[in-house]
């Protein structure tokens, strides 16, 4: 990862500087996600489709079957 600097209003800077570490990490995750979407030319639905396809390939390669997924979904009901 690389560090960048951006200008924010004083109240945001103060809140971030005095936040718990877990809140700071969560803010960084949200900011990174937003910046990725902002600067990426790939539409969000295309990115989601790519992630879903990759997840499916990995699940299959690890022996995860549709029947196993059905069993998991039934357990959630």
**Domain total in the chain:** 2
Across residues 7-26, what is the average pLDDT? 97
Global pTM value: 0.54
Q: Are 55 and 67 within one domain?
A: yes
Higher pLDDT, 40 or 2: 2
| pLDDT value of position 2 | 93
Whole-number Å distance between alpha carbons of 74 and 60: 20
**Which tokens is 8 given?**
């924010």
Same domain, 35 and 56: no
Q: Is the same domain home to 60 and 33?
A: no
Confidence label for 76 from pLDDT (cuts 50, 70 and 90): low
- Asked whether residue 30 falls in the same domain as residue 55, the answer is no
Please state, for a pLDDT cut of 90, what percent of the chain lies above it. Answer: 57
> What pLDDT is recorded for position 36?
85
């Amino acid at each position: 990862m690389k560090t960048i600097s951006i200008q924010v209003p004083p109240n945001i800077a103060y809140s971030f500087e005095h936040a718990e570490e877990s809140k700071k990490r969560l803010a960084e995750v949200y900011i990174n996600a937003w910046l990725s979407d902002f600067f990426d030319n790939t539409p969000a639905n295309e990115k989601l489709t790519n992630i879903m396809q990759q997840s499916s390939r990995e699940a299959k390669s690890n022996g995860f079957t549709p029947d196993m997924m059905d069993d998991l979904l039934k357990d959630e009901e």
